[in-house]
């Protein structure tokens, strides 16, 4: 083997190893948090905490579908009504915004069951005064969880009723630029990774 | 050793080329970008704009204050600093509508919510039974620019008329949810770009703009301005009867159909530093003419006795775009401005939405009020969508609203009383031109509406006019 | 010759690729806008901010934006809707945030001057303004809304420039990509989808 080839191997091999270590290939152990979810159908008018969220929506009569997710950083409620293309989410972290329980509120309009825009909200802060970014993620067919890279751990947000999934993170939130970067995986039955994606959401509209 | 040296030289050569190529690309982009970009421009460094709500119709005993907002670059410094400008000016005012004007200087007030610069109209002028007329010359004292409002100045001053013994209609509190069903749906276009459909601009999380206006001919043909699909669709009896292509901006434009099927479109957007264009199209969609209106902002386009007429701001006047077949330039438009919409019989209808829940309406002929109305509502009233005459009656359509509900209220008035009253749903799922939701043809009222399914035009028959 | 050929080949390829990449990533914002610190201001008048707002007219609309340079020209027209592409202009909520001189800290109700070329959107969406989120933001009874108060729906927000005689309003707004930012007559006041909003802290 000539020196050129030797030097190439010596140079490239560590690079490949580094890429393997950082690119998600191979197995690595990391902490995982699995959120709880419950899907409810609620007759209006509602009461309590949910009512305070619904006040922000146009739903006043009939029944609503409410998907409640409880995670490490946020509790969210995603609300819609059968036959309506409007989708709303309320987010709370336990830290009130101006004495309001729900510090975040986002609205979207479904087209073929999907949202064109993740509807980023960054008004919430957690107990450590970190800005919390909340967005919608459209689940792909077969997805059971949306996995969000939170830095030191991964958080799994369960899907429900085929609706866009409200996820949240304090990791990689660029508050000054009103944007947040999410690294997500969509996980199917048996833990199979269906999709990996990185996207940047912007406060807009 | 020789092959190794050659390989190293090739490697070195390639690496050098790579580095220099990247560097060259970066330098090239930077040079190109430097030519295309720039710092803050000087667009608008010398400008003056105004806002003014004229007291078009007054009631007995009313104190009248004329107020203006003046928007111009601040003294010295950055035009975008957000500091108010050093404005000022004079109001030229007279009793009645003829004769000389007297000059009153504007006073600068502490607050600017309703216009910082004001003058109190002397009681002797405000109370004159003929009314009064006025115009203002507003100034940026630092930069020397001036603006006359209304634009026609002494040739077409703003006119104020007193309501004497108006027919007073007390609506009370509006009862929502009891709307009248339309007598017919004369056009029904699902969203889309196909035949018989209507185009929709905007996504699920932004403003939705659909067909922005329409008009109805005497024979009942509905012409729908489907600007997102660059066409006008014609409907009769609920069926599509034709479609012609028209080249118009994808914005909320207003639309009117004149004699012989000539179509007029006032653009919903304008080029920088210019006023919107009024385009004239032949019935087959061929562009005949595009001329600028007099002022920067318009509220509605209609067909007047002499052709298309546009209500414009800051003058708050109706200005004809043509005199018959002859187009008018901007100065001529301004000189022909009037406070009310001209009608075929030579009279004009003057409308003022006053306070929270009042509409004042007057029919002016020969420079005097011939009939007048005051509509009072306990529920807030929004914009007057339509004020038009049919025979000896007037049809008024105004929005009643609360924080959670809104409906259009239709009133048919004669010289003595309220003849008819009903409400219709607002159906404003997609945006249209602000005052383009209604047209009156004979004794039929037509409404442009939209829902998530599409756009439509409904007809409400008002009964025969006397 | 071989080293020279290698040099030329890699030079040309690298030049082309860098140029294409540079052109694709070069935007109005990256070329012109800055992240300067906003300046606190003691006062803020409605007609002063009418002045600030009208500067943005004709300078374009950018979803999620932004910044503009007061040359009455949209440097990035026809941006794809609802995509952040770094073009010129603000969107409706970003334009309102800057015109109302708000702080990025939602607990701070003070007044901060953002230069037109300062690229900032702020944390509020139209619905956040409608819900009066943040210390500087409040609601107002719609019939009472005056110059530089506003109307906000779930999807859109615009500011009153002046009232119209027939009950409509001249609204200064970043309306849409095709519409741009400009002064438009609107009937938002009477539409129940819109709520009345106000900036707390005007000084004149």
CB contact under 8 A, C121 and A202: yes
CB contact under 8 A, A115 and B204: yes
Q: How far is C104 from chain B (nearest CA, A)?
A: 19
In chain C, the residue whose alpha carbon lies closest to the alpha carbon of A119 is C125
CB contact under 8 A, B204 and A205: no
Report pLDDT digits (tens) over A41-95: 999 999 899 999 998 888 888 999 999 999 999 999 999 999 888 899 999 999 9
| Inter-residue contact B92 to B136 (CB < 8 Å) | yes
- DSSP-derived letter for residue C34 is B
User: pTM for this one?
Assistant: 0.89
| Inter-residue contact B368 to B421 (CB < 8 Å) | no
- Select the residue of A97, A116, A202 nearest C64 (Cβ to Cβ): A202
**Average pLDDT score over residue span B327-349:** 96
Q: Which of B33, B82, B300, B424 to mutate to test the interface with C (most CBs of C within 10 A)?
A: B82
Residues of chain A neighbouring C135 (CB-CB closer than 8 A): 98
Report pLDDT digits (tens) over B166-196: 999 999 999 999 999 999 999 999 999 999 9
**Average pLDDT score over residue span C23-49:** 88
Of A26-30, B265-269, B310-314, C163-167, give the lowest mean pLDDT range. A26-30
Residues of chain A neighbouring B453 (CB-CB closer than 8 A): none
Of A174-178, B408-412, C2-6, C15-19, give the lowest mean pLDDT range. C15-19
The answer to whether residue A19 scores a pLDDT higher than 60 is: no
Q: Which of B1, B3, B204 to mutate to test the interface with A (most CBs of A within 10 A)?
A: B204
A167 contact C CB<8A: no
Chains that touch C (3 or more CB pairs under 8 A): A, B
Is residue B34 classed as helix, strand or coil in its secondary structure? helix
Q: How far apart are CA A178 and CA C118, in angstroms?
A: 14
CB contact under 8 A, B204 and A119: no
CB contact under 8 A, B205 and A2: no
**Average pLDDT score over residue span C139-159:** 96
CB contact under 8 A, C94 and A204: yes
Q: How far apart are CA B299 and CA B313, in angstroms?
A: 8
- Select the residue of A2, A4, A108 nearest B205 (Cβ to Cβ): A108
- DSSP-derived letter for residue B97 is S
Q: How far apart are CA B460 and CA C163, in angstroms?
A: 30
CB contact under 8 A, B4 and A115: no
The answer to whether residue B335 scores a pLDDT higher than 80 is: yes
pLDDT score recorded for residue B10: 73
For residue A129, count CB atoms less than 10 angstroms from its CB and return exposed for 0-12, middle for 13-18, buried for 19 or more: exposed
A205 contact C CB<8A: yes
The answer to whether residue B406 scores a pLDDT higher than 60 is: yes
Residues of chain B neighbouring A119 (CB-CB closer than 8 A): 205
The DSSP line for chain A is --HHHHHHHHHHHHHHHHHHHHSS-S----EEEE-EEEEEEEESS--HHHHHHHTTSS--SSEEEEEEEE-SS-EEEEEE-TT--EEEEEEE-SS-BTTBS--EEEEEE-BTTB-SS---EEEEE-TT--EEEEEEEPPPTT--EEEEE-SSEEEEEE--TTPPEEEEESTTEEGGGTEEEEEEEEE-GGG-EEEEEEEEEE---
**Average pLDDT score over residue span A129-150:** 96
Q: How far apart are CA B115 and CA B109, in angstroms?
A: 8
Report pLDDT digits (tens) over B123-141: 999 999 999 999 999 999 9
pLDDT score recorded for residue B460: 98
Which residues, 6 or more positions from B90, have their beta carbon under 8 angstroms from its beta carbon?
B103, B104, B105, B106, B136, B137
CB contact under 8 A, C125 and A116: no
B24 contact A CB<8A: no
Q: Which helix (H) or strand (E) holds B278?
A: strand B277-281
- Select the residue of C91, C119, C131 nearest A105 (Cβ to Cβ): C131
Residue C179 confidence class, pLDDT cut points 50, 70, 90: confident
First to last CA, chain A: 61
- DSSP-derived letter for residue B84 is P
Report pLDDT digits (tens) over B422-439: 999 999 999 999 999 999
CB contact under 8 A, A205 and C134: no
Q: How far apart are CA A133 and CA C202, in angstroms?
A: 31
In chain C, the residue whose alpha carbon lies closest to the alpha carbon of A118 is C82
- Select the residue of C50, C69, C192 nearest B41 (Cβ to Cβ): C69
Of A56-70, B202-216, B342-356, C89-103, give the lowest mean pLDDT range. B202-216
- Select the residue of B14, B26, B359 nearest C7 (Cβ to Cβ): B14
CB contact under 8 A, C52 and B16: no
- Select the residue of A97, A105, A179 nearest C127 (Cβ to Cβ): A105
Q: Which of B2, B6, B15, B21 to mutate to test the interface with C (most CBs of C within 10 A)?
A: B21
CB contact under 8 A, A205 and C121: no
Q: How far apart are CA C190 and CA C150, in angstroms?
A: 12
The answer to whether residue A26 scores a pLDDT higher than 50 is: no
In chain C, the residue whose alpha carbon lies closest to the alpha carbon of B38 is C32
In chain A, the residue whose alpha carbon lies closest to the alpha carbon of B208 is A109
Question: Who wins on pLDDT, B158 or A1?
Answer: B158
Q: How far apart are CA C127 and CA C125, in angstroms?
A: 5
CB contact under 8 A, B205 and A3: no
Of A9, B17, B1, B22, nearest in space to C2 by CA: B17
Residues of chain C neighbouring B74 (CB-CB closer than 8 A): 48, 51
Question: Who wins on pLDDT, C158 or B19?
Answer: C158
| Averaged pLDDT of chain B | 91
Cis status of the peptide bond prior to B233, with omega within 30 of 0: no
pLDDT score recorded for residue B196: 95
For chain A, list residues whose CB is within 8 angstroms of any CB belonging to chain B: 2-4, 85, 107-111, 115-117, 119, 204-205
Task: State what percent of residues in chain B have pLDDT above 70.
Answer: 91
Of B225, B446, B442, nearest in space to B234 by CA: B225
Which residues, 6 or more positions from A100, have their beta carbon under 8 angstroms from its beta carbon?
A52, C133
Strands (E) located in B378-453: 381-390, 393-401, 406-413, 418-425, 438-441, 444-451
Report pLDDT digits (tens) over B211-225: 999 999 999 999 999
Which residues, 6 or more positions from C149, have their beta carbon under 8 angstroms from its beta carbon?
C140, C159, C160, C196, C197, C198, C199
Chain C residues 133-152 with CB within 8 Å of chain B: 142-144, 146-148
C184 contact A CB<8A: no
C122 contact A CB<8A: yes
| Averaged pLDDT of chain C | 90
pLDDT score recorded for residue A8: 44
pLDDT score recorded for residue B3: 57
**Average pLDDT score over residue span A148-158:** 95
- DSSP-derived letter for residue C36 is P
Report pLDDT digits (tens) over B23-79: 666 555 555 444 333 334 444 457 899 999 999 999 999 999 999 999 999 888 677
As for the ipTM of the complex, it is: 0.89
Q: How far apart are CA A28 and CA A18, in angstroms?
A: 13
Residue B2 confidence class, pLDDT cut points 50, 70, 90: low
First to last CA, chain C: 76
CA distances from B144 to A74, B87, C168 (A): 58, 10, 31
Q: How far is C197 from chain A (nearest CA, A)?
A: 15
- Select the residue of B13, B296, B435 nearest C183 (Cβ to Cβ): B296
- Select the residue of C23, C146, C193 nearest B29 (Cβ to Cβ): C23
In sign, the C-alpha dihedral spanning B129, B135, B139, B144 is negative
Chain C residues 72-111 with CB within 8 Å of chain B: 72-73, 75, 81-82, 101
Q: Which of B10, B12, B13 to mutate to test the interface with C (most CBs of C within 10 A)?
A: B13
Residue A2 confidence class, pLDDT cut points 50, 70, 90: low
Q: How far apart are CA C128 and CA C134, in angstroms?
A: 8
Q: Which of B1, B11, B205, B402 to mutate to test the interface with A (most CBs of A within 10 A)?
A: B205
Residues of chain C neighbouring B22 (CB-CB closer than 8 A): 14-15, 18
pLDDT score recorded for residue B250: 81
**Average pLDDT score over residue span C12-37:** 76
Chain C residues 23-52 with CB within 8 Å of chain B: 23, 26, 28, 31-32, 41, 44-52
- Select the residue of B69, B207, B272 nearest C162 (Cβ to Cβ): B69
The answer to whether residue B18 scores a pLDDT higher than 90 is: no
């Amino acid at each position: 083997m000539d020196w050129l080839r030797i030097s190439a191997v010596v140079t490239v091999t560590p690079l490949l190893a580094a890429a393997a270590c950082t690119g998600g290939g191979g197995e690595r152990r990391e902490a995982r948090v699995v959120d709880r979810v419950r899907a409810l159908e609620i007759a209006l008018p509602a009461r309590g905490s949910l009512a305070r969220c619904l006040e922000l929506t146009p739903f006043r009569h009939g029944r609503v579908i409410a998907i409640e997710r409880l995670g490490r950083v946020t509790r969210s409620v995603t609300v819609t009504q059968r036959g309506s293309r409007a989708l709303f989410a309320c987010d709370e972290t336990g830290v009130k915004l101006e004495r309001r329980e729900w510090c975040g509120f986002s609205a979207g309009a479904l087209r073929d069951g999907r949202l064109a825009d993740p509807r980023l909200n960054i008004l919430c802060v957690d107990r450590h005064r970190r800005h919390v970014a909340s967005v919608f993620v459209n689940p792909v067919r077969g997805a059971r969880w949306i996995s969000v890279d939170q830095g030191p751990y991964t958080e799994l947000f369960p899907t429900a009723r085929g609706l866009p999934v409200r996820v949240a993170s304090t990791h990689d939130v660029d508050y000054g630029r009103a944007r947040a970067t999410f690294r997500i995986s969509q996980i199917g039955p048996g833990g199979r990774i269906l999709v990996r994606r990185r996207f940047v959401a912007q406060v807009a509209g | 050793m020789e092959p190794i040296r050659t390989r190293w030289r090739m490697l070195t050569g390639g690496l050098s080329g790579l580095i220099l190529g990247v560097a060259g690309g970066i330098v090239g982009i930077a040079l190109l970008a430097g030519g295309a970009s720039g710092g803050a421009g000087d667009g608008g460094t010398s400008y003056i704009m105004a806002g003014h709500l004229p007291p078009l119709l007054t009631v007995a005993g009313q104190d009248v204050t004329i107020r203006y907002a003046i928007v111009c670059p601040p003294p010295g410094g950055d035009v975008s600093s957000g500091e108010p400008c050093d404005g000022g000016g004079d109001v030229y005012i007279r009793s009645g509508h003829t004769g000389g004007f007297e000059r009153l200087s504007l006073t600068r007030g502490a607050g600017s919510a309703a216009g910082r610069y004001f003058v109190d109209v002397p009681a002797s002028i405000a109370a004159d039974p003929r009314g009064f007329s006025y115009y203002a010359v507003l100034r940026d004292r630092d930069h020397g620019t001036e603006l006359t409002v209304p634009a026609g100045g002494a040739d077409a001053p703003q006119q104020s008329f007193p309501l004497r013994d108006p027919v007073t209609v007390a609506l009370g509190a509006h009862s929502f949810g009891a709307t009248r069903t339309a007598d017919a749906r004369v056009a029904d276009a699902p969203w889309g770009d196909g035949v018989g459909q209507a185009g929709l601009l905007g996504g699920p999380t932004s403003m939705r703009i659909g067909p922005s206006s329409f008009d109805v001919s005497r024979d009942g043909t509905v012409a729908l301005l489907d600007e997102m699909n660059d066409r006008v669709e014609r409907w009769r009896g609920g069926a599509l009867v034709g479609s012609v292509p028209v080249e118009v901006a994808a914005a909320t434009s207003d639309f009117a159909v004149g004699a012989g099927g000539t179509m007029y479109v006032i653009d919903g957007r304008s080029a920088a530093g210019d006023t919107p264009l009024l385009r004239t199209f032949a019935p087959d969609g061929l562009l005949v003419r595009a001329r600028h209106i007099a002022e920067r902002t318009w509220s509605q386009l209609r067909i007047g006795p002499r052709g298309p007429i546009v209500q414009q701001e800051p003058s708050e006047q109706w200005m004809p775009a043509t005199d018959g077949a002859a187009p008018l330039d901007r100065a001529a438009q301004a000189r022909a401005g009037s406070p009310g919409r001209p009608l075929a019989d030579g009279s004009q209808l003057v409308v003022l939405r006053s306070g929270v829940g009042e509409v004042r309406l007057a029919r002016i002929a020969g420079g005097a009020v011939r009939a007048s109305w005051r509509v009072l509502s306990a529920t807030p009233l929004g914009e007057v969508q339509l004020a038009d005459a049919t025979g000896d009656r007037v049809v008024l359509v105004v929005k009643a609203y609360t924080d959670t509900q809104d409906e259009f209220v239709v009133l048919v008035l004669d010289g003595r009383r309220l003849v008819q009253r009903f409400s219709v749903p607002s159906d404003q799922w997609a945006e249209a031109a602000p005052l383009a939701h209604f047209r009156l043809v004979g004794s039929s009222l037509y409404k442009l509406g939209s829902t998530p399914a599409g756009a439509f035009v409904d007809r409400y028959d008002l009964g025969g006019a006397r | 010759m071989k080293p020279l050929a290698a040099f030329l080949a890699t030079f040309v390829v690298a030049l082309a690729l860098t140029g294409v990449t540079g052109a694709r990533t070069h935007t109005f914002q990256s070329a012109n806008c800055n992240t300067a610190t906003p300046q606190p201001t003691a006062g803020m008048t409605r007609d002063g901010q009418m002045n600030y707002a009208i500067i943005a007219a004709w300078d374009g609309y950018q979803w999620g934006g932004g910044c503009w340079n007061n040359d009455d020209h949209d440097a990035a027209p026809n941006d794809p809707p609802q995509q952040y592409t770094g073009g010129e202009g603000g969107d409706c909520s970003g334009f309102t945030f800057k015109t109302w001189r708000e702080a990025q800290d939602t607990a701070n109700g003070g007044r901060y001057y953002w230069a037109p070329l300062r690229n900032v959107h702020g944390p509020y969406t139209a619905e956040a303004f409608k819900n009066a989120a943040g210390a500087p933001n409040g609601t107002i009874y719609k019939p009472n809304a005056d110059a530089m108060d506003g109307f906000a729906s779930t999807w859109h927000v615009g500011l009153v420039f002046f009232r119209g005689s027939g009950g409509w309003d001249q609204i200064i707004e970043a309306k849409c990509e095709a519409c741009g930012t400009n002064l438009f007559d609107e009937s938002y006041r009477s539409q129940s989808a819109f709520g009345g909003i106000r900036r707390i802290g005007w000084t004149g």
